[in-house]
Amino acid sequence: MEEESNENNEVGIQESHKDSNDNDDNNIANLKEDLTIIKEELLAARKSSDNNLNKLKYMMAEFDNYRKQMEKQIDSRIESGKGELLLKFLGLRDDYLRALEMAKQSKSEAVVIEGLEGILKNFDSLLKSEGVMEIETIGTPFDPNVHDVIGFSHEEEIEENIITKEIRKGYMLNNKVLRPSLVLISRKIVTNTATDTQKIEKEAEN
């Protein structure tokens, strides 16, 4: 009886070990399955995160471009408004300069002339501080980008298309034409050589 009992105990122990092993295998299989699911979810979450990050970067780049474009438009409007205001100042300078010339011609007192010239210097200093620069004219080649021709002067000793006189001073603002110069440029007199030769021959015959 004792032997049978021992055999039964051994069988029970083996079956218990087997059940325990089966349970361990099932737990390991479940853990592996859970791990696979977690990995898939993690991969999906990473893809979603990367996608959202790319969208955010794209939106930030779009916003940055929009900001730069708006700043450029604002700067352009400010520059345009500044140019219009400075043009009015230049018109006032022209009038002031004519008044100064009239004062000189009428032989006003030296103190008055000096005072007027001092104001003109302050005027020019203000324009220069705002980036306004004079356009070169007399003695320089004609440039249609910065000069407007209003007449010609016949100069034999000067090459053609050289500015000989400035009628109205022109100005640049930050490398852009604020107001073109009004100028006269040189032109050579074209003579008809054949006609001159005929005249000489007729005079010789007479």
pLDDT one-digit tens code per residue, 117-130:
999 999 899 999 99
List pLDDT tens digits, range 2-42: 455 555 555 555 555 555 556 666 778 778 887 888 888 88
Instruction: Return the higher-pLDDT residue of 7 and 143.
Output: 143
C-alpha–C-alpha distance, residues 107 and 177, integer Å:
36
- Distance from C-alpha of 177 to C-alpha of 60, rounded to nearest angstrom: 37
Check residue 182 and give its pLDDT: 96
Q: In this structure, is the dihedral angle defined by the CA atoms of residues 106, 111, 114 and 115, taken in order, positive or negative?
A: negative
Over residues 66-98, the pLDDT tens digits come to 999 999 999 889 888 999 999 999 999 999 999
Strands (E), the chain: 132-134, 147-154, 163-168, 171-173, 176-179, 181-187
Alpha-carbon distance of 86 to 12, in angstroms, equals 108
User: Tokens at residue 204, please?
Assistant: 């010789």
Residues 6+ apart with CB under 8 A from 117: 100
Query: pLDDT tens for residues 49-72?
Result: 888 888 889 999 999 999 999 999
- Pairwise CA distance, residues 90 & 100, whole Å: 15
Token pair listed for 205: 């015959």
The pLDDT value recorded for residue 175 is 86
Task: Output the CA angle 4-9-13, nearest 5 degrees.
Answer: 150
Cβ atoms of 156 and 190 closer than 8 Å: no
